[in-house]
């Protein structure tokens, strides 16, 4: 596998099926300020963005002033709900144990949440502490910072890194870092036609099931 030295996975929507839970909690919290019909339209396509990015978009579009405490209050509820309800993406542990590459995780979530999700997925030992999160960099995805940090700390050339991502935000971040990307569309929150959107952005392949991942990694690794 000379063309790839490091596999980097996003966490939410790739390792654990958490995005749909986080979206539900966010929707319920924002529904106190925004009518449901309007909110559905505003939240479309925002998965992968940080909450401050989403709040900025809503405030700009509607001219609202959401309380400063909203983000911290939401974070507390969302983290507790995800920790209680989240389940691994089917087959992810088996797939990542099969792939014989160093593995890192790069996420827009905070480090302790990523570590909790990895524990739920049975992947703590496989990742071996190679977790890179939004609270470790100046700019979250879609900036490439967290992916570049992962490559630097793991001693890998970004051009020889392969990323598994589910969101356009994450795909843009990984591509901006100069990495190849596999788009994953098997999480519960993924809308119809999402694979085509990721291909348009420039991913090298799209998979819907985690049992496809080892074969695609092998194929891309052999060029």
Domain boundary among 85, 103, 127: 85
DSSP H helical ranges for 111-212: 111-120, 124-127, 145-154, 168-176, 194-201
Q: Token pair of 127, please?
A: 């990742």
**Contacts for 160 with CB less than 8 Å, ≥ 6 apart:** 3, 4, 5, 6
> Is the pLDDT score of 45 beyond 80?
no
Q: Token pair of 192, please?
A: 């119809």
Domain boundary among 32, 61, 85: 85
- Please check whether residue 1 lies inside any domain of the structure: no
Query: Do 105 and 215 belong together in one domain?
Result: yes
Query: Do 42 and 104 belong together in one domain?
Result: no
Give the integer Cα–Cα distance in Å for 201 and 85.
Answer: 32
Give residue-wise pLDDT tens across range 70-102: 989 998 999 999 989 999 999 999 999 999 999
Query: Do 50 and 102 belong together in one domain?
Result: no
Range of 23's domain? 19-85
> Is the pLDDT score of 60 beyond 60?
yes
> Is the pLDDT score of 1 beyond 50?
no
Query: Do 95 and 23 belong together in one domain?
Result: no
Domain boundary among 85, 119, 142: 85
Query: Do 208 and 147 belong together in one domain?
Result: yes
> Average pLDDT, stretch 179-198?
95
Question: Residue 191 carries which DSSP code?
Answer: P
């Amino acid at each position: 596998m000379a063309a790839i030295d490091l596999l980097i996975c996003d966490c939410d929507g790739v390792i654990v099926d958490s995005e749909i839970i986080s979206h539900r909690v966010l929707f319920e919290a924002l529904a106190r300020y925004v009518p449901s019909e309007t909110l559905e339209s505003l939240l479309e396509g925002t998965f992968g963005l940080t909450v401050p990015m989403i709040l900025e978009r809503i405030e700009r579009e509607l001219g609202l002033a959401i309380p400063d405490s909203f983000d911290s209050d939401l974070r507390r509820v969302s983290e507790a709900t995800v920790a209680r309800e989240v389940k691994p993406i089917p087959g992810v542990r088996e797939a990542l144990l099969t792939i014989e590459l160093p593995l890192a995780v790069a996420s827009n979530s905070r480090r302790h949440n990523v570590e909790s999700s990895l524990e739920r997925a049975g992947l703590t030992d496989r990742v071996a502490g190679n977790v890179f999160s939004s609270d470790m960099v100046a700019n979250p995805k879609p900036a490439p910072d967290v992916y570049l940090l992962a490559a630097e700390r793991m001693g890998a050339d970004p051009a020889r890194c392969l990323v598994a991502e589910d969101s356009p935000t994450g795909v843009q971040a990984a591509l901006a870092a100069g990495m190849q990307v596999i788009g994953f569309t098997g999480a519960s929150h993924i809308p119809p036609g999402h694979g085509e959107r990721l291909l348009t952005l420039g991913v090298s392949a799209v998979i819907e099931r985690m049992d496809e991942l080892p074969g695609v990694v092998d194929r891309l690794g052999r060029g």
